[in-house]
C-alpha cells in the first residue's frame, strides 16, 4: 500500500496514523476513503486551528460552522440559510462543468438544511482578459453558472469579477447560495437511531466524479492537470431540481431524521460525517447503489457524482419516503443502516470491504504549519508613490478607469443569468447589493460579496478587514442592516511558510473586523493549493454578507434619483493611492499599502447611513470603493441617468481627491431641507458630512477637473468588457 498512499496524496506520517487507528494495514477501499477525508479540501487539516478564532455566535445564529450551511433567525418564524464554496480547480480543468457543479453543490448545501434556495452570487477571479485562455475560461464558467442556475430556476443576483495576471492559469470560481425557510424546518446532517435506514436519493453513481473536487482542490496545477478532465463532475440540473422539491416535501412532512448531500468524497464523506455527528456507526451495502456503469467498491465509495443525497429514515416512514421519491422520478434505495458504536462497515455482495471508525474519517489530522512573512512586502511597501507624475487630463483618466477590466460594467456577464426568476429580486445586479423580497412580509434581504485581493496581497491583515467592511457597507447602501457573513478563503499551498503567513494574517483580520462590527461568521470554505507551475494566486479571501431590510420601502440604490438634490459625502477622503485601481491603470503599479481602516469610524459611518435611510433623509446611497470618489460619482450618474455639478475645496491634490480609495465613505443624496437633520445625525457620531454639489443635467462636472457627458461615461463603461473579451483592447 506504500505506493498507493503516496499516489492518493497521503503523507508517510498520515499513513502511519492510519495504521495506528486501524491496528493493521488498510485495504484499497479504506485507504481511498482516508485519502479523501483527510485531504485538505475535506479535513481542513491546515486551517482548523487558525479558523477557531473566528466569532461564530450571536443571539440570532441558529447554526454556525460545522454543518452544511449557516442559519440565522430573521424573526417572524423565518430563518435564512447561506454559505459560500469554491470550485476553483475543477473549473480550471473543465470550466463549464466545474462552474455548473459548483452551483449544484452549493445549492444542495442550502436545501439540505431545510431551506428553499432563493438566490446565488458568483465572485469570480480571472487572469489577463487579453489572453485567449482567460477568455475561454471566463466564457465557460459564465455559461456553466447560467446553464445550471437558470435550469434550476434560482436567480443569480450578484457577485463580482476581478482580473489579475496571477489568475491566468488558476481562476477562482466561488459560489454563494441563500435560502429561506420556517425555522422549525431546520434539519442537520446527523445520523441517529440504531436501526434507522440510510437511503441514497437521486442520480446514479458513475466514474465522472472520481478524484474530483477533493483531490483536485488539494494539489497545485502543473502540465498534467489537463489530463484530469474526466475527473471533473458532470452536472444534471434537471435532476437537482427534482431533488430540491422531493427533499423539501420530505422535510415538510417530517419524514427524515437527517439529510446530507454527497459532494466532495461522495459516499465516504456523507456516511462518515453523518455517523460521526450522531455518535453512531453505519453499515453500507454497495451492491445496492444505482450505478451508471460497472464499478468496483473503491470507485463507488470515492465517486463524487452529482445530484445525490443521503437521508436517514425511521423504518415506519420508509415506504412513504420511497413513494415521494418515486413520484418525483428519483432513484431512492436503502443502502445502509444506522448501527451502535463508531464503525463504518462497507459490504460488497456479502463481503466486508471496509471497516473503519467513522469518527477518525470525519476528524482527520490537524497541522500547525510554519509561517513566515513574505520578503516581497518590503519591496512593494518601499515604492515612492509621492514621486509619481500627476495626470494632466483627469477626465481622460476617469474614462480609462471606467473602462478598465476591474471597474467596467459587468452587464455582459449578469445578463446571461436569470436574475428575476422566483420574483423575489427587487434590486438587480449592478448595484451595491442585491435586494430580495421575503414574500408574505414587508422585509427584504440585502446580499453582497466582496474581496479586493490586491489589497490582501499588499497587506493580508488589513486587506481582509477591508473586505469585511466593504461587504457590510454595500449592504448598508442598499438599506440593510448587516447580520452575518460567510467566506471563501482562496490561497496557495499551505505548505509554503510565506503563503501560510498570508493565510494566518488574513484570518486574523477577518476575525477582528467581524468581531468589532458584531458580524458572526456562520459558514465558510477554505481553498488551498491555488497555484500553477509554482506560482500562487494573490491571497483572495472573499466575504459574503447578508443583511436585513426591516421594511422594503427602505431599500436604496446608487443612481441619482432626481434633479436638485444635494450630493453629500459621508466620511473623509485622504491621499491613499496604495493598491488602487488608479495606480494600476495609470502607472502600471501594484504597490504601497492599502488605505487605512479605522473599524470604529467604519461602524459609526455605517450606523449613520442606515439611520439616515430609515428616517427618509437619504434618497440614494453608494459605497465609495475601487476607483475612488470619481468612479463612485460616475456610477451614480450612469445608474440614475442624472448628472451632477460639484464644487469641492480640498487641501489634497486633485488626483488624490478623485481617485483615492479611502475607506468608510458613502456618496448619498438628500433634499436641501434635510441637510440639517443629516448634519445633526452624523455629528452625534462624529462622522464628517461634506456637501459636494447638486444633481442635475446630463454631465458630471467636478471643479475644472472633470466635465463629461453621461453618454460618454456610459459608452466607456458599458461596452468595455465585451471589447476586452473580443480582443479589441488590451
Question: CA 98, 211, 66: angle at the middle one, nearest 5?
Answer: 75
Q: Is residue 419 among the annotated active site residues?
A: no
Ramachandran quadrant class, 77 (left: phi over 0; alpha: psi -120 to 50; beta: rest): left
Name the nearest CA neighbour of 511 among 599, 424, 576, 585. 599
Q: Residue 376 CB: number of other CB atoms within 10 A?
A: 11
Q: What distance in Å separates the CA atoms of residue 144 and residue 154, rounded to the nearest whole number?
A: 14
- CA 435/CA 441 separation, integer angstroms: 14
| Exposed / middle / buried, residue 423 (Cβ in 10 Å: 0-12, 13-18, 19+) | exposed
Cα(592)–Cα(365) distance, rounded to whole angstroms? 38
Decide: helix, strand or coil at residue 573. coil
CA-CA distance, 385 to 391, in Å (whole number)? 14
Q: List CB contacts of 574: < 8 A, sequence separation 6 or more.
A: 595, 596, 652, 656, 660, 662
Q: Tell me the C-alpha distance between 659 and 535, whole Å.
A: 31
Closest to 445 measured CA to CA, from 542, 550, 553, 556:
550
Which residues are paired to 1 by β-bridges?
none
Question: CB neighbours of 618 closer than 8 A, spacing ≥ 6?
Answer: 556, 609, 612, 668, 669, 670, 678
Alpha carbon distance 56, 58 (integer Å)? 7
Catalytic residue flag (residue 41): yes
- Asked if residue 586 lies in contact with residue 709, where contact means CB atoms within 8 angstroms, the answer is no
Q: In this structure, how many other beta carbons lie within 10 angstroms of the beta carbon of residue 420?
A: 11
Which amino acids are annotated catalytic?
41, 87
Amino acid at each position: 500500500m506504500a505506493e498507493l498512499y503516496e499516489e492518493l496524496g497521503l503523507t508517510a506520517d498520515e499513513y502511519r496514523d492510519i495504521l495506528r487507528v486501524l491496528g493493521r494495514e488498510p485495504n484499497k477501499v479504506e485507504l481511498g476513503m482516508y485519502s479523501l477525508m483527510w485531504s485538505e479540501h475535506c479535513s481542513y487539516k491546515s486551517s482548523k486551528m487558525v479558523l477557531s478564532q473566528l466569532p461564530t455566535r450571536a443571539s440570532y445564529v441558529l447554526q454556525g460552522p460545522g454543518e452544511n450551511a449557516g442559519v440565522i433567525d430573521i424573526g417572524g418564524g423565518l430563518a435564512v440559510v447561506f454559505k459560500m464554496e469554491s470550485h476553483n480547480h475543477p473549473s480550471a480543468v473543465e470550466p463549464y462543468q466545474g462552474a455548473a457543479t459548483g452551483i449544484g453543490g452549493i445549492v444542495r448545501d442550502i436545501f439540505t438544511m431545510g431551506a428553499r434556495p432563493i438566490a446565488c452570487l458568483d465572485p469570480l477571479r480571472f487572469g489577463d482578459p487579453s489572453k485567449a485562455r482567460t477568455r475561454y475560461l471566463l466564457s465557460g464558467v459564465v455559461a456553466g453558472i447560467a446553464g445550471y442556475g437558470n435550469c434550476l430556476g434560482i436567480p443569480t443576483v450578484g457577485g463580482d469579477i476581478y482580473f489579475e495576471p496571477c489568475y491566468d492559469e488558476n481562476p477562482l470560481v466561488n459560489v454563494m447560495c441563500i435560502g429561506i425557510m420556517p425555522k422549525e424546518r431546520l434539519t442537520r446532517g446527523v445520523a441517529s437511531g440504531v436501526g434507522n435506514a440510510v437511503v441514497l436519493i437521486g442520480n446514479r453513481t458513475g466514474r465522472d466524479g472520481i478524484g474530483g473536487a477533493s483531490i483536485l482542490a488539494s494539489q497545485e496545477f502543473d502540465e498534467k492537470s489537463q489530463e484530469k478532465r474526466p475527473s471533473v463532475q458532470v452536472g444534471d440540473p434537471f435532476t437537482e431540481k427534482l431533488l430540491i422539491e422531493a427533499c423539501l416535501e420530505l422535510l415538510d412532512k417530517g419524514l427524515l431524521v437527517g439529510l446530507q448531500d454527497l459532494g466532495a468524497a461522495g459516499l465516504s464523506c456523507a456516511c462518515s460525517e453523518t455517523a460521526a455527528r450522531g455518535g453512531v456507526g453505519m453499515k453500507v451495502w454497495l451492491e445496492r447503489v444505482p450505478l451508471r456503469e460497472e464499478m468496483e467498491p473503491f470507485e463507488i465509495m470515492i465517486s463524487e457524482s452529482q445530484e445525490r443525497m443521503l437521508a436517514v429514515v425511521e423504518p415506519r416512514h420508509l415506504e412513504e419516503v420511497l413513494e415521494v421519491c418515486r413520484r418525483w422520478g428519483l432513484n431512492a434505495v436503502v443502502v445502509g443502516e444506522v448501527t451502535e458504536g463508531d464503525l463504518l462497515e462497507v459490504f460488497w455482495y456479502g463481503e466486508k470491504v471496509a471497516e473503519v471508525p467513522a469518527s477518525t474519517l470525519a476528524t482527520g489530522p490537524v497541522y500547525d504549519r510554519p509561517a513566515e512573512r513574505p520578503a516581497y512586502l518590503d519591496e512593494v511597501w518601499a515604492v515612492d508613490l509621492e514621486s509619481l507624475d500627476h495626470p494632466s487630463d483627469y477626465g481622460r483618466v476617469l474614462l480609462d478607469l471606467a473602462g478598465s477590466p476591474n471597474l467596467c460594467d459587468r452587464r455582459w456577464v449578469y445578463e446571461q443569468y436569470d436574475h428575476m426568476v422566483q420574483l423575489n429580486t427587487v434590486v438587480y445586479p449592478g448595484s451595491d447589493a442585491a435586494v430580495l423580497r421575503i414574500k408574505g412580509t414587508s422585509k427584504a434581504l440585502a446580499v453582497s460579496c466582496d474581496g479586493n485581493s490586491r489589497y490582501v496581497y499588499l497587506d493580508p491583515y488589513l486587506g481582509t478587514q477591508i473586505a469585511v467592511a466593504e461587504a457590510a457597507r454595500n449592504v448598508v447602501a442598499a438599506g440593510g442592516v448587516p447580520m452575518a457573513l460567510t467566506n471563501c478563503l482562496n490561497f496557495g499551498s499551505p505548505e509554503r511558510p510565506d503563503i501560510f503567513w498570508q493565510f494566518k494574517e488574513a484570518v486574523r483580520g477577518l476575525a477582528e473586523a467581524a468581531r468589532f462590527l458584531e458580524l458572526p461568521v456562520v459558514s465558510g470554505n477554505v481553498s488551498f493549493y491555488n497555484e500553477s507551475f509554482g506560482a500562487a494566486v494573490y491571497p483572495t479571501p472573499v466575504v459574503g454578507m447578508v443583511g436585513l431590510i426591516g421594511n422594503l420601502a427602505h431599500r436604496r440604490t446608487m443612481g441619482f434619483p432626481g434633479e436638485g438634490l444635494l450630493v453629500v459625502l459621508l466620511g473623509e477622503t485622504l491621499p491613499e493611492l496604495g493598491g488602487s485601481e488608479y495606480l494600476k491603470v495609470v502607472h502600471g503599479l501594484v504597490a504601497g499599502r492599502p488605505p487605512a481602516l479605522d473599524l470604529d469610524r467604519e461602524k459609526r459611518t455605517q450606523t449613520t447611513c442606515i439611520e439616515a435611510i430609515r428616517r427618509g433623509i437619504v434618497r440614494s446611497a453608494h459605497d465609495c470603493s475601487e476607483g475612488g470618489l470619481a468612479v463612485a460619482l460616475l456610477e451614480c450618474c450612469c445608474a440614475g441617468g442624472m448628472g451632477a455639478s460639484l464644487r469641492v475645496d480640498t487641501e489634497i491634490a486633485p488626483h488624490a481627491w478623485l481617485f483615492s480609495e479611502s475607506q468608510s465613505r458613502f456618496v448619498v443624496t438628500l433634499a436641501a431641507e434635510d441637510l440639517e437633520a443629516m448634519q445633526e445625525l452624523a455629528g452625534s457620531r462624529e462622522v464628517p458630512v461634506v456637501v459636494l454639489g447638486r444633481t442635475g443635467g446630463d454631465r458630471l462636472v467636478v471643479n475644472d477637473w472633470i466635465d463629461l457627458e453621461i453618454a460618454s461615461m456610459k459608452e466607456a463603461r458599458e461596452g468595455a468588457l465585451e471589447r476586452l473579451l473580443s480582443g479589441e483592447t488590451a
